[in-house]
Amino acid sequence: MRIQGRRVVRQCPHPTGDTLPPVSPAAKGYVYARLRRLGLSDAIAAQTAPLIKVQSFGVGKKLWAKGAEVQHWQYIMDGLVSASIPTTNSESTPISVYGKGAWFGEQAIINRKPSFADYVSLTATEVLCMPASTFDTLFIQEPGFARYVAKLMAWRVQKTSETLTLMKLGNPCLRVVMGLAQFAEALAHRSERPPTVAFGDGLELPVAQSTLASLCGVSRTLFSEHVQQLAQHGWLELSYGKLEILNVSTWHRFARRQREDSFNALNPTSSDLLAVFQELDQALPSPSEFQRLERRALGDSRP
């Protein structure tokens, strides 16, 4: 199959004004491996790899703005990106947070619609960029690739709609906790799908607390108040310029529980949410059970 563009796109400068540089020869094996995981055959992955470019963004830079045309499907090699929509008082609410190992931007490309949100790098970020025309061709002609994207979109649409309801209608306490839970999910290994195994005891958020407060749609004062309560009960660790999420697996379970079950409970107190954390933490498997699950995920059949 010959990879060629079938999609007519308006040519406009990249947000940084720079031409995207090609991937270095040393990185081509890495790109090939990422493409193979998308359901592409050896031949198609090798043929597509030269079309992939690399781009770097500094903290706070927009990968693309709300209403802009999305010209590349992107994969985060390193960094953290937020898709946010404006809320009250010129603040933003994160609809999705993408971490290392995540592809994003497929919805706008498939729908041929402008971006519905601002995509901003929350940390120094490096991404691989697949042209939208290449994405379109693969989506049409490669069944394995189309299945991968369809499953990815189905999970993301559900997660986004549930999270948006909670973040827009929930009280400040719920918005803070769910906002932090999104970061815990985004920074987890293979963040393009729901986590299934343990990811370690702690996870430091590489974002300033003032930025976190803005992304959660609350004031810095309210954010600090709720964060302090979580820290007092052992779910966060705070130090100067640092916020670390503890018991990461419990945060993952909490986020899933809130999205699935709590649309009738959008005004919880801090005590209510802390009780949910405690309940979920007690229900987690033992460390030995986590090890068994990890071995199963790696294809090891030992008991």
- Beginning with the edge strand found earlier in the chain, give each strand of the sheet holding 92-98 in spatial order: 62-64, 118-121, 81-86, 92-98
What pLDDT does residue 285 have?
58
Widest Cα–Cα separation across the chain = 59
What pLDDT does residue 109 have?
93
Written as six digits, the tokens of 9 are 């796109």
* Residue 243 and residue 227 in contact, taking contact as beta carbons nearer than 8 Å: yes
pTM over 0.85: no
Q: What does the pLDDT look like over 8-42, one tens digit per residue? A: 333 333 444 345 665 555 557 889 999 999 999 99
Q: What letter would DSSP give residue 21?
A: P
Enumerate the β-bridge partners of residue 129: 53, 74
What pLDDT does residue 41 have?
92
**Rounded CA gap, 299 and 209, in Å?**
40
Within this chain, domains 25-157 and 170-297 share the same CATH topology: no
Q: Report the CATH fold assignment for 25-157.
A: Jelly Rolls (2.60.120)
What pLDDT does residue 156 have?
80
What pLDDT does residue 196 have?
38
Q: Which amino acid type is present at position 281?
A: D
What pLDDT does residue 141 have?
94
Domain spans of the chain, in order of start: 25-157, 170-297
What pLDDT does residue 254 have?
87
What pLDDT does residue 90 have?
61
What pLDDT does residue 281 have?
85
What pLDDT does residue 188 have?
65
What pLDDT does residue 43 have?
92
Along the chain (303 residues), what's the average pLDDT of each consecutive run of 10 residues? 42 43 65 92 93 93 90 93 74 76 91 89 93 95 94 80 72 88 71 42 78 82 92 89 85 81 73 90 59 44 43
Task: Express the helix, strand and coil content of the chain in percent, nearest 5 each.
Answer: 45, 20, 35
Written as six digits, the tokens of 63 are 């990968």
* Residue 292 and residue 303 in contact, taking contact as beta carbons nearer than 8 Å: yes
What pLDDT does residue 138 have?
96
* Residue 40 and residue 135 in contact, taking contact as beta carbons nearer than 8 Å: no
Only one residue has tokens 């369809």, namely: 150
CATH code for the part of the protein at 170-297: 1.10.10.10
